[in-house]
Amino acid sequence: MYHNSSPHRAQRNAGSWNAEQKLTWIPLRFIQATHWFLLILLLWPIFLAADELRGSGDLGVVIERAKGSVLIVETSNHTRLAEVSGLGDLSHASVVYSRDQRYAYVFGRDGGLTKLDILQAKIVNRVVQAGNSIGGAISQDGCLIAASNYTPGGVKVFDANTLELLADIPSEFGNQQRSKVVGLVDAPGQRFVFSLFDAGEIWLADMHNSHIPQLQKFKSIGNQPYDALISPEGHYYIAGLFGEDGLALLDLWNLAAGVQRILPHYGRGREKMPVYKMPHLEGWAMASNYAFIPAVGQSEVLVVDQRTWQAVRPIPVLGQPVFVRARPDGRHVWVNFALPNNGTVQVIDVINLTVIKTLKPGKAVLHMEFTPRGEEVWVSVRDEDKLVVYNTETFTEIATLPADKPSGIFFTNRAHQIGL
């Protein structure tokens, strides 16, 4: 049988096999090419959108106070990304962020609470929850937004997703009176802490049941607490007192100890200057075991030992401090001032406790915000309609951006800081 197979038949068989092979593989290759083509068509929109996708870690919001708008900026390239309007009265405004850093919650003076999508540069939701509001906070788990109010007085708590009202905490004291609420911050343990200006009290609200807050009230803490802060690790809540010298300290790890008065005699025996602008205590600096505190009615920054809460010494500065902000590494503290020195910023060396640099960004410096690792600081200059960016190592000006009457600057790294 083998010998009957001629070379010609073998060639024909071989040719036949090659033809069949070609008939088999041509469609397969065509199908494979078609699959790749279809896959590219499906993915093409994603390829096109890839340049538009970005993270939120280097973004921030700048308040344009005069026209009720905000700028969305990014710090990596000093860029204005977008402007969003329609946020109401922002003459006194503050911002907190969702834990994913995508949403900014803007608290306006008119009682407006606005949820802003900073990646899409649009308002997601907005409610007017009071007549006069001065700030707010976001809960430890990121699910609750609390707003503090002058009028009618109290704190309202909202669902962070929908802005649905969950709880209303009226700040009632005395004979059915209501107090202005100041110094509202978040605290570990799903709590909010705030002060009552008219009542001279500090309240702590446990929000484990978001509809029924559990309140603990600390009375007679001092005259007219005007603002407050919480230490970076959430241990201490400290309220500044406008009606008298001193501050009120609440140890959140030892509530049974009640409120302790600290620095009760600072400024005693000295004539106070008129207070042109109240210090913002949420910007107090905590660095190297010291607290750096703006003195009310004095051209000083108070230095306090955090371990004992005793005064170390005051640092003379150019004017009445408004914000006292520590660089993230704690090496330097930056200070801005009320009128007539509100065009100046000074830098304090934490080791020597002395002023080492004086800068002149422009007329009406209202706020300073450090980039997350502190290599730059952004400064809002209201009366010159600009933002100025400084290198914090060399103190050189490295960028200027236009902004309409800018005030507060809020970067998204605040999402992961207690009390900011």
- Angle, alpha carbons 318-319-324 (nearest 5°): 90
What DSSP element (H or E) covers 379?
Answer: strand 376-381
pLDDT reported for residue 16: 39
Q: Record the pTM.
A: 0.86
Mean of pLDDT values over 60-78: 97
pLDDT reported for residue 2: 35
pLDDT digit string (tens) for 251-289?
999 999 999 999 887 655 555 555 656 667 766 788 888
**Regarding predicted confidence, which is higher, 150 or 50?**
150
Longest dimension (CA), the chain: 128
DSSP codes joined into one string, 274-331: P-SS---GGG-EEETTEEEEEPTTSSEEEEEETTTTEEEEEEE-SS-EEEEEE-TTSS
**Regarding predicted confidence, which is higher, 288 or 102?**
102
Mean of pLDDT values over 387-413: 98
> How sure is the predictor about 296, in pLDDT bands with cuts at 50, 70 and 90?
confident
Residue with tokens 């509202």: 184
